[in-house]
Structure 1
Amino acid sequence: MSPKLWFVALAHSHLGQIMQTSKWDFALVETVHLLALATLGGSVLIIDLRLLGLVLKGESARTIGKDLGRILLGSLVLMIVSGVMLLSEEALKCYYSPAFRWKMTLLLLAVVFYFTLHRKALQRTGKEAPTIWSRAVAIISITLWLGVGIAGRAIGLI
């Protein structure tokens, strides 16, 4: 199935019809999506600020990453589920939106980065001072996730 056909099918699905015709469902789902984004963003920021050596210096980056990683993962799952629901409401608009494509590309890069290099940096960083490697990883991570948020906001503007 081509991507465009998938977007058309999503728009015409039962979920798409509910999201397009309900007065409150879109607002409710968007609220959940934004709360999940805020939770994910806060988790990422705390973890990355620790990798930069700016906060929680007495705590192990590995421990912080493990503890907040669960929250981050839960928020990410909630964000993806609610994102698909939001997408069903305006699927064709998103299909043609460059901002949506940027958001999906940056999201994919951020998730892959988190589960590969970011996790390796957390495992290598204990309570010691941050290294150039951990600082670079933190800066890339913050940049990717910030890009996801900015591109997501741009979907509504473009």
Structure 2
Amino acid sequence: MVDLGDASEKLMGMDDATWRRHANPWSGWSRVATLPALALAIWSRVWIGWWALALVAAVLLWTWLNPRLFPEPRSLDNWMSRGVMGERIWLARKREPIPAHHARMANLLNGLSALAMVPFAWGLWQLGIWPTVFGMAVSMLAKLWFVDRMVTLRRIAEGQEGG
């Protein structure tokens, strides 16, 4: 079975230096705007027709550039940086196992986020505001909760919390 996290990391070309730059809280927090920007880009087909594809391409380019645009943070002592670095621990879980209850919760949140893409995509296809907003909100909340779980993983790895 394909691990979407590993596939995403490879597709994004995330090496150690890129992860360190992505740990800059400006990178993490600005990345939160990606899903709303994608929704707006797709929705813009109503106003600008096929030019909307240029906006979609710009959002995809932003998604790839974002972890590379910001300098390494001076400190990882903030919620977003810890979450990003915790995600590295999550992605390495096959080599370095993590506590089972953390894996279950992370999988549940990732599944919820993915499931929320159904009404999001349907809403974008049908130009329905409520399914679009509902799907986007649930997906983003699940992703932010996932990041919070990654903060906990990072603290465990640093020996600041029990498993």
Report TM bin, short chain. 0.3 to 0.5
Which TM-score applies when normalising by structure 1?
0.47
Which TM-score applies when normalising by structure 2?
0.45
Which of the pair has the greater relative contact order for Cα pairs under 8 Å at 6+ separation? 1
**Larger radius of gyration between Structure 1 and Structure 2:** 1
